[in-house]
A and B are shown apart, each in its own frame.
Chain A
Amino acid sequence: MEKLNLSYGRKRVFKLKTFLILLFISLLPAVSFFSVSYQIKIMKISKLLRAYPEVFNNLSSTNLDLIEGQVDNLVVSLSDKEKERIKSNEEIRAYIMDVYRDTYFLRFFFNEISKSSNKFFLSGVMYDGQRFYIDYYEYGTTTQLSTETVYSELGKYYKDLTVQILDEKNFLGDIKYFHYVWEGKK
């Protein structure tokens, strides 16, 4: 008796208003998710900006959409600067080395002769900015300046290095003199 119904089927319809309200409600989670994630993004970006003021104080605008582009630009410009600095570093280094080599051969020579107990007579030094030429006489029983040492030390900095004994003569008693010539190119 409870199921009795003398009416034939009725189409169940939904009002447009109900449909729109349901649509709105179903879109709410998506919209809220996106707005929350946008808020979190902004929070994190602000935190980053505050944490690295040295880098970000040079930002021209605070529009959060352009930040990504600006950060990329910053990275590029900073890496350019880095390359520049490295280059100038290299140049300075090269320059220092260059200047060092202008006088190193002499300092080395004086260092060596002061270590030695023999007497030395420097007869001539020539340097034109590229090539050096040392001409000296060593007086002693034996030569105490080892050519290997000279080659190994000066060879680090100079090219076309030659150490020649031009002459070896007895001088007085068993004292000899050795006529050395050093040549080299920067």
Chain B
Amino acid sequence: MEIRLAIFSNRVVVYNLNEGQASTLVAKYRNNKMRIKSYHQRFVPSDPEDMVVVNVPWDIVQTAFLELPPIKKDIDRIRVAELELRRIYNLSEDINVSCIPSLFGKYFVLFVRRTDFIRFLESNGLNFTPDIAYPNVLSELLLVKKLPGRWLYIVLGEYTSGIVVMSGNFITNFRIIDISTNEISHLIKEETGFELYEIETSGNEELIEQSRKILDTISSDIISIISREIIISTNTTELEKISIDSIDGIVLVSKSKMIRDTIFSAESDIIRKFTDPVYLVKIYPQLSMSELGLLYRGGIELGKVKSIIW
């Protein structure tokens, strides 16, 4: 019998819940390092003493940019934001609110209805409140180094993708876009019988070539969606006036190298502004970026995270 002194070992358990699928990632935090202990492609129950981090899908999250008075305490600021949201959206039920500071005294405020949140947790097998709930897309973005100046970060996630307009470390606009790398992977699986991730890691030249051809056929669709969404994002940024020419660059965050290559190969003014991300920690291909992002977020709650080790 192994005596686990949970109070000294800081276990973090990450649940990635998407469309009925669940995965569990267990790690220990010590000395600014996250050490991954195990990873399961199913729901594994956690200890009551663990720190539990869960993702939140965007279908239950709503956002708003609010002007809030300068308040020292976070709890008070959240209360003010909650009242403001109730007023604006005419809400009567309980909501969970969280604020991210943005430019010019405004805050990027996210909220979920508590009933939606609980229903989401229970339908995936979680019957207790997690310590941290962090939305998709932003979790992937957490692992990317934010560059100074005005940048667009396009996050192509497995289930949800989005565009985040940032000025340095501050979010100035946010949009969900209708691309899912999982859907693209399904497409490839229909044709080749293998998932995109498997093909990428196998190194099989034939399969890779086949996948590339399939991706080429849909690349124009992808690129047109992305280009449109970029333009809409820059135009709808209310906090400050920006244009495609005024932004310093566009960072494409995607786990799949093949999708990245497909997009970069297109000829267009917008694509010329694209660049690769600088990651703050090592990206393990066996894990999804949102899982790593959630793990990183769990670690930040306990202190600084200098590296993630498996």
A3 within 8 A of B: yes
Give the docked Cα–Cα distance between A31 and B54 (Å): 44
Known: A5-B134, A15-B47. 12 other contacts (CB 8 A): A1-B142, A2-B297, A4-B138, A6-B96, A6-B117, A6-B133, A7-B96, A7-B117, A8-B114, A8-B129, A14-B48, A18-B49
Contact: A10 with B129, CB < 8 Å?
Answer: yes
- 5 interchain residue pairs of minimum CB distance: A7-B133, A6-B133, A10-B129, A13-B48, A10-B131
- Say yes or no: B129 contacts A7, CB within 8 Å: yes
Interface residues on B, range: 35 or more
**Hey, which chain A residues are within 8 Å of B300, CB to CB?**
2
Known: A13-B48, A15-B48, A18-B49. A5 touches B132 (CB 8 A): yes
Interface size in chain A (residues, C-beta < 8 A) = 18
Q: Which of A12, A18, A22 has the most CB of B within 10 A?
A: A18
Is the pair A18, B114 in contact by a Cβ cutoff of 8 Å?
no
With A and B bound together, what is the CA distance between A12 and B7 in angstroms? 11
B171 within 8 Å of A by Cβ?
yes
B135 on the A face (CB < 8 A) = yes
Q: A13-B49, A22-B7 are in contact. Are A4 and B128 (CB under 8 A)?
A: no
Cβ of A21 < 8 Å from any Cβ of B? yes
Chain A hits for B56, CB < 8 A: 6
- Using Cβ atoms and an 8 Å threshold, which residues of chain A touch B61? 6
- B residues within 8 Å of A by Cβ? 3, 5-7, 47-49, 52, 54, 56, 61, 74, 96, 98, 100, 110-112, 114, 117, 128-135, 138, 141-142, 169, 171, 297, 300
Main secondary structure of the interface of B (DSSP, over half): mixed
Give the shortest distance, in Å, between B119 (CB) and chain A (any CB): 14
Q: Closest chain B residue to A11 by CB distance?
A: B129
How many angstroms between the C-alpha atoms of A186 and B155 in the bound complex? 131
CA distance A1 to B98 in the complex (A): 10
Q: How far apart sit A5 and B56, CA to CA, in the bound complex (Å)?
A: 10
B210 to chain A, nearest CB (A): 39
- Cβ contacts under 8 Å, A15 to chain B: 6, 47-49
Q: What is the chain A residue whose CB lies nearest that of B305?
A: A2
- In the complex, A14→B49 CA distance in Å? 6
Q: Which residues of B contact A9 (CB under 8 A)?
A: 129
User: Is the pair A4, B7 in contact by a Cβ cutoff of 8 Å?
Assistant: no
Query: CB distance A6 to B134 under 8 Å?
Result: yes
Alpha-carbon distance A1/B300, docked complex (angstroms): 11
Ordered by A's residue number, 13 sampled pairs between the chains whose C-beta atoms are within 8 Å are A1-B142, A2-B297, A3-B74, A4-B110, A4-B134, A5-B134, A6-B110, A7-B117, A10-B131, A13-B48, A14-B49, A15-B47, A15-B49
Taken together as a complex, chains A and B put the C-alpha atoms of A3 and B301 apart, in Å, by 8
Q: Residues of B contacting A3 with CB < 8 Å?
A: 74, 98, 100
Q: Which residues of A contact B111 (CB under 8 A)?
A: 6
Shortest distance in angstroms between A5's beta carbon and chain B's nearest beta carbon? 5
Task: Tell me, rounded to whole Å, the shortest Cβ–Cβ distance linking B284 to chain A.
Answer: 21
B49 close to A7 (CB less than 8 A): no
Q: Shortest Cβ distance from B113 into chain A, in angstroms?
A: 11
Please state if B141 and A1 are interface contacts (CB–CB under 8 Å): yes
A52 to B141, CA, bound (A): 83
Query: When A4-B100, A4-B138 are in contact, do A18 and B7 touch as well, CB less than 8 Å?
Result: yes
Inter-chain contacts of A7 with B (CB < 8 A): 54, 96, 117, 129-133
Kindly supply a per-residue 1/0 record for chain A positions 1-42, scoring 1 wherever the CB is within 8 Å of any chain B CB and 0 otherwise: 111111111101111011001100000000000000000000
Q: Name the A residues within 8 Å of B135 (CB-CB).
A: 4, 6
Q: Considering the chains assembled together, what is the distance between the CA atoms of A3 and B138 in angstroms?
A: 12
- B112–A6 CB distance below 8 A: yes
Point out the residues of chain A lying under 8 angstroms from B128, CB to CB: 10
CB proximity of B11 to chain A, nearest CB, Å: 12
Give the chain B neighbours of A1 by CB distance below 8 A. 100, 138, 141-142, 169, 171
Q: In the complex the two chains form, what is the Cα distance from A22 to B74 in whole Å?
A: 33
Assuming the contacts A10-B129, A21-B5, asked whether A4 and B98 have C-beta atoms less than 8 A apart, the reply is yes
Identity of the chain B residue whose Cβ is nearest the Cβ of A22 in the assembled complex: B7
- CB neighbours (8 Å) of A4 from chain B are 98, 100, 110, 134-135, 138, 297
